[in-house]
Amino acid sequence: RWPCSQQKTRMSGKDGIKTLLEAENKATESVAQARREKGARIKQARDEAYNEVKQYQAQLDTQLQTAVSQGMAQSDKSSKLASETENQLMEIRRNAEANRVNVVRQILAWVSTVDTTAPKAA
């Protein structure tokens, strides 16, 4: 009886070890597979984040270019208006200077000409 029972125990011991080794190998493979999947998910998330950043950066670049071009157009308009205003002021000053002598003569003539005739009674 003992030899038979020892042989069964030895066989079941070998089967148990074999089962444990298979389970360990399966667990190792499961862990490795989980790591690969995690790595793939991380890579996908990183790629998606990179693409979102690139899209946002392109959007901001477009907004910047629009703002810069509008600012330049506004600046050009302001510059043109300032130039026109300055030209008009210079023309007014030239005209005033050219006519100053005539204006002074005319004012002096009005002031110095006194009508000495008496008004007629009604």
User: In whole angstroms, what is the distance from residue 63 CA to residue 73 CA?
Assistant: 15
Q: Given this model, what pLDDT does residue 3 score?
A: 52
User: In whole angstroms, what is the distance from residue 53 CA to residue 42 CA?
Assistant: 16
> Which positions of the chain have pLDDT values less than 70?
1-13, 122
Q: Given this model, what pLDDT does residue 69 score?
A: 83
pTM: 0.44
